[in-house]
Amino acid sequence: MYKKRLDGRKASEFRKTSAEVGVIKNAVGSARFQMGKTSAYAAVYGPREIIPRHKMSAKSGVLRCNYNMMPFSGMGDRVRPGNNRRSTEISYVTENALLPVLDLKRFPNSGVDVFIELDQTDAGSRCAGITAASLALADAGFSMKDLVVAVAVGSVDGTLVVDLSYEEEDYDAPVADIPFAIIPSTGEVTLLQMDGKLSQETLMKAYDLAKKAADEIYDIMKSALKKRYD
């Protein structure tokens, strides 16, 4: 049984979090979101004409997310830059996590590019990326019914914990890692992945923990967006 967390946190406690918007001046909207040592930047460009043209749709604007880890963001070894299967998958699920809140119908025949770059990672990178992207889109002035908050919940040797660190993901016992992306106002889930084994009942408990954490993180995101106008 995993009783005491490696860094001393409570089971439902997520790591120290910080959020800031407007950090990349060239972008229409941008944000930096950090949870523990994992730090993600997101920059939004558009709506704009995108190339290749056939990717655009006459019915609605399209969202293109690109997730990337910087070469120095890993735990010592150089992370090879550029697309790979993992980053392609994360880019894809990130797009699907954000689309449900965005209203892109008012921008047909155009696209919105979101670039997510991780400058430092310690597990939970796709969650930090989605959260940063959500902040950046709001900062850019897009019409969104709500923000999207992403946080991972895991089961480490039978104990459910919020916001796994790399050490916990790597723990020498059965570990299940479940990243969630949640719409705070409705509780709807826009990203749900699982790496490991879990019973349905435990998954529902994991969701409850994630929702609670998401509500707290939403408040942090709200402050960051408002702080720009103080």
Partner 1 sequence: MLKCKDKEIVVPGEVLCEGMDFLPSHGTYRDDKVIRSSMVGMVNVDGKVIKIMPTSGRYFPRRGDTIIGRVFDITMNGWRLNINSSYPAFLTMMEASSQFIKKGSDLSRIIPMEGYVVGKITNVTGQNLIDVTLKGPGLRKLDGGVVINVSSSKVPRIIGRQGSMIKLIKEATGCFITVGQNGLVWLSGEAENEVVAVKAIELINSDGHKSGLTDQVKKFLEKETGKKLEV
Chain residues in the site for partner 1 (CB under 8 A): 28-29, 46-49, 61, 101, 103, 107-110, 138-147, 183-186, 218, 221-222, 225-226, 229
Q: Closest approach of Cβ 222 to partner 1, in Å?
A: 5
Q: Closest approach of Cβ 51 to partner 1, in Å?
A: 13
Nearer to partner 1, 200 or 229 (CB): 229
Nearer to partner 1, 140 or 151 (CB): 140
Question: Nearest 5 degrees, angle CA 146-CA 194-CA 204?
Answer: 65
Nearer to partner 1, 13 or 215 (CB): 215
- DSSP string of 12-46, one letter each residue: TPPPPEEEEE---TTSSEEEEEEETTEEEEEEEEE
Residue found by looking up tokens 């946080």 in the block: 151
Nearer to partner 1, 1 or 229 (CB): 229
Q: Closest approach of Cβ 215 to partner 1, in Å?
A: 11
Helix (H) or strand (E) holding 155: strand 149-156
Q: Closest approach of Cβ 182 to partner 1, in Å?
A: 11
Nearer to partner 1, 2 or 33 (CB): 33
Q: Closest approach of Cβ 203 to partner 1, in Å?
A: 25
Paired strand residues for 179: 152
Closest CA to 193 of 99, 115, 89, 118: 89
For the chain, the straight-line distance linking the first and the last C-alpha, in angstroms and rounded, comes to 47
**What does the alpha-carbon distance between residue 59 and residue 107 come to, in Å, rounded to a whole number?**
8
